[in-house]
Amino acid sequence: MDARDTDLKKELDATLQTRRELGEEYESALVDSFLEKVDQRIDGAVERRVRRQLAEQQLTAARDSRSPRPTDSFGERFGFGIVSLVLAIPLSAIGGGVADLPGMLVAWAGIVGVNVVQVARTHPDLFGRRRRAERGDAWED
């Protein structure tokens, strides 16, 4: 039994004892007084629960906004693009020299794939991953 339940039981016992002493003419007032105390107790519990849930939501929102974001500076994007283009020349030559057009297509598919992965890593909301998680469509543990 919780301490609050014990206090409420004591209040009920005191109300019943007072009713016995004062008589039935005060029964309505005593019951109303006891029910008001019960209402206050319930209101306090609900208010604490709502405050706790609100605090948890705010904490979750703060953690999400504070989560480390991948670096997405202009220099990093520019450098990655330059490296992709520089490596595309010899990869295209090797692919085209070994397997003609299909080899060159495979080389360029690889280059495009690496760049798509880079964009997905630096911009997770671009492909809808973040929006699905916010709506609750994503899988949860």
Highest mean pLDDT out of 2-6, 61-65, 93-97: 93-97
User: Which pLDDT band, with edges at 50, 70 and 90, does 134 fall under?
Assistant: low
Q: What is the mean pLDDT of residues 96-125?
A: 88
User: Which pLDDT band, with edges at 50, 70 and 90, does 135 fall under?
Assistant: low
Which has the closest alpha carbon to 117: 52, 70, 65, 82?
A: 70
State the first-to-last Cα distance of the chain, in angstroms, to the nearest integer. 34
Least confident interval from 50-54, 90-94, 103-107, 124-128: 124-128
Token couple for 137: 């469509």
Residues 124 and 14: their CA atoms lie apart, in Å, by 63
Q: What is the mean pLDDT of residues 53-76?
A: 75
Residues 18 and 3: their CA atoms lie apart, in Å, by 22
String of DSSP letters for 60-78: HHHHHHHSPPPP--HHHHH
In this structure, what DSSP letter does residue 38 have?
H
Residues 90 and 78: their CA atoms lie apart, in Å, by 20
Residues 92 and 63: their CA atoms lie apart, in Å, by 45
Give me the pLDDT at residue 49, please.
95
Least confident interval from 13-27, 32-46, 48-62, 68-82: 68-82
Q: What is the pTM of this model?
A: 0.41
Tell me if residue 2 falls in helix, strand or coil. coil
Amino acid at 58: Q
